[in-house]
Structure 1
């Protein structure tokens, strides 16, 4: 059994004088009163791999006794001051549920104790006018010991301000303003673990990567690859728990990485990147079953909800629900199975290696205006060719297939522009936005095409069961009309995207 919550907090150096040095926060923002609690004695043993893979990705895993939430805690970064904390009951070994959620970071390496942190905590609760808790101020006296034999010891004080769930994050800024007036400043370490590893000597020396010239195509491409690879890792726990939109975001991340490695072959050697692209394609395919089923079910359900009651004949909603449950369970199982394979972990390792030891080519050191602009323009040329072919096709299956290929080319142009935007600025950003407009329109078209096939299957199944197929046929007709409307809109959208003035700044 696990539980999770969003944790939003900031850490500060302790005030001189301890609790007596804290300012009175009554009347600050919505704070109507301040109540005292504690002290509490907390004892936490932090676990990590031998090379500190969790700490290296700003995640922590601890077994803590004392306090109201004793148990195992896995904390995952969410950006800014926020983290997600996943809790599991106390046990002697790391719970399998938390081990699985940490797998994209640990890659299956053994988890072992790395440092023990004991804290004596005094708490002040900030309450609103109704007595509800807005935030907690925790003043900790911390003692840390490295777990390894002969390890060091460290002691320090720390002030932590943590919001209650659902409270606007702006309260942190209001409280911090009051703290600063008392000379209380932010701590120079993001977490107790980070400081303990540093001060006890338990931390590992960071691996040094080859230096890449700042402002070069190599630097921009590697920064993008590193960002997207990190996003893939961070989305893994959300996908495993089937959180909303997680599969979609991970699939898009795979596409961004594939497109970048394809478009910038002049920067990174394809002999190294092509096998990585193939594995990213495999992963996106495994994720696609769940995502496509989810989107299709939502689309058909929304269209059904929009129909007047007199046009809904037979047990249509029930049949759609049965279809969603049967197909959805299969798709989610396929996704979970993919994330459990050694193949998936090898892909994450390969992405790490690509960033640590990049296979740079000559184009990596040239001027961005030359290398990166050429990559974007090449992708535009491919899109233009696909669009010309698609628009020349007669209406029907061949045009639908050609438009789907054009959609994929529009994505590649959009993502190539995304990589180049920090280097080339507004001109490439404008071209990317026009490519996105083409992609979204063609995406709507493709969704209508796929929905028609499913609606026909549902109609056949309904007819075979002796039910009316009228409503399914009606929805099929609406999807056909929608696809034809998107095709009519395409001419104008493509004209805007193919304006030579968009490409002129990149061609000189």
Structure 2
């Protein structure tokens, strides 16, 4: 089935029953009302029993009537909402089934839970196409008279009128489009409208019945919101939400989505490891192991993605004239094929029961965290600042230990280049963990960890550049070995390898300064803690 997508940028307004529509040709870019049509629309909205989609600000509906009847899925996006659509489907055993192409986009949210009707929204729409002086669409203005029913327990029928202006695809997400929306807001409010109190027709349809509905387990409030355990759970939930949000973006292969989902996975692991002693047990160990598998799967594609970008940059920057067009196409084509294979493996992994079980386990941990309870021999419970501060100290101690090992062995002739570089990779991971810990401590306590956070971020940048160079070099070496076995000339790969070696050494020149910033920030925090 064909799935279409576009960025939806719109503004909604509540308006009185008899308020006339103002002249909209005064808006920027708008020269005429090119066409006006009337539609009778009827939409059934679907969600799980505990409204997982609604809480994630996602809407799924089956709508009939109008020019775009079909299944519509709306997801949060940058600068607007991403709408995906699929054709209407015939019922199966008397029930309509969500097309698999759309269900895949929300699988990380709904898992194996049943999708059921939660609201019906009927709409008598007057739709006006606003065009520029060349006849190109600028926006659609809709005058909607809505009757809606909440199908949740205690739901009621409601009716209202609203105006809606939506930018055309070519203007969505642009400065020109933002100016049109701003001018339209001023114009419509001046005509008697007001900004809609509800973000969507679905929210307005659900009304008070939304507040009475069952909450998803991962939104269960913690028993003691001021405890260290609650602080850790809040940090875990933020990254759990990020993981789930990037799942559909990874499936669509959006730029940087694999990287961001991998970051969320690593942050989850880091928090669980850093705050071991606040939460612990077999449940935590199992989740740590599964997150490591997920991070590895994402890492294969991410490494190929980084390498492909670096290869393109290295080749474009080459001024020797020794890399032919054939070499360029071969090198970039080889690494792109590797990324595509890795991405297909990711999608298969995201559809697996193992991955869905991991998400379920994460939700269960958030709902009922395995808090380490004090024993009779323990002293009185510590304050949150003290507990979180101790975990920050542990993360810093680990970073110092890895720093000493990396620096001490950099010139060790008994170690291979790979082994010596791996110590700096371990140092980068320690800086990440300290940064994540500083972020969690800051959000949960009065400790000011911003300097540590920024210093660790700088270290990550330094060692990230270094590690990207190492990863690129390793791939060049592997490609050269494969090409040599096939009798292909490897001179261009060797040329790029040596340039990457120089780039890596250049990145390490900023290492000492980055480390000094971390130790300085940590000493300042210790003085304030005393």
Structure 2 CA distance for partners of 1:358 and 1:99, relative to 1, 3 Å: same
Counterpart check, 1:315 vs 2:326: yes
Residue number in structure 2 paired with 1:400: 421
Task: Supply the distance in 2 between the matched residues of 1:423 and 1:129 (Cα, whole angstroms).
Answer: 55
Instruction: Name whichever of 288-297 and 111-120 sits farther off.
Output: 111-120
The whole-number CA distance in structure 1 between the counterparts of 2:325 and 2:76 is 48
The aligned residue for residue 63 of structure 1 is 62
Closer/same/farther in 2, CA of residues 306 and 144 from structure 1, 3 Å limit = same
Q: Classify the secondary structure of the residue corresponding to 1:83.
A: strand
- Does the residue aligned with 1:160 lie in a helix, a strand or coil? strand
Q: Distance in 2 between matches of 1:149 and 1:496?
A: 57
Task: Give, in whole Å, the separation in 1 of the partners of 2:293 and 2:488.
Answer: 39
User: In the alignment, which residue of structure 1 is the partner of 2:433?
Assistant: 412
CA distance in 1, matches of 2:152, 2:15: 28
Which runs of no fewer than 5 residues in structure 2 stay unpaired? 91-96, 375-380, 412-416
Residue in structure 2 matching 1:177, options 186, 190, 194: 186
| Alignment CA distance shift 1:34-1:216 (3 Å) | farther
Query: Is 2:391 the partner of 1:375?
Result: yes
2:152 and 2:449 mapped to 1: Cα distance?
Answer: 52
Indicate yes or no: 2:169 matched with 1:153: no
Does the 8 Å contact 1:414/1:435 carry over to 2?
Answer: yes
SS in 2 for 1:333: helix
Once the two structures are superposed, residues 83-118 of structure 1 have per-residue CA deviations (whole angstroms, 9 ceiling, x without a partner) of 111011121232111111121111022223333221
Deviation at 1:480, TM superposition (A): 1.7
Separation (CA, whole Å) in 2 of partners of 1:35 and 1:318: 48
Query: In the alignment, is residue 111 of structure 1 matched against residue 115 of structure 2?
Result: yes
Identify the match of residue 278 of structure 1 among 285, 289, 304: 289
CA RMSD of aligned residues (A): 2.9
In structure 2, relative to structure 1, the CA distance for the partners of 1:354 and 1:314 (3 Å cut) is same
**Alpha carbons of structure 1 residues 225 and 32: separation in structure 2 relative to 1, 3 Å:** farther
- Partners in 2 of 1:366 and 1:254 — Cα distance? 29
Instruction: Describe the shift of the 1:404–1:199 C-alpha distance in structure 2 as closer, same or farther (beyond 3 A).
Output: closer
Sort the Cα spacing of 1:212 and 1:129 in 2 relative to 1 into closer, same or farther, 3 A: farther
Q: Is the 8 A contact 2:476 2:494 kept in 1?
A: yes
The normalised TM-score by structure 1 is 0.90
1:100 matched to 2:104? The reply is: yes
2:207 match: secondary structure:
helix
- Deviation at residue 402 of structure 1 after TM alignment: 0.9
Distance of aligned partners of 1:182 and 1:218 in 2 relative to their CA distance in 1, 3 Å threshold = farther
1:121 has 2:143 as partner: no
Between the aligned partners of 1:171 and 1:377, the Cα distance in structure 2 is 52
Which runs of structure 2 are paired with 1:27-106 in the superposition (5 Å)? 27-34=26-33, 37-78=36-77, 82-92=80-90, 93-106=97-110
- Determine helix, strand or coil for the equivalent of 1:310: coil
Residues 488-497 or 353-362, more deviating: 353-362
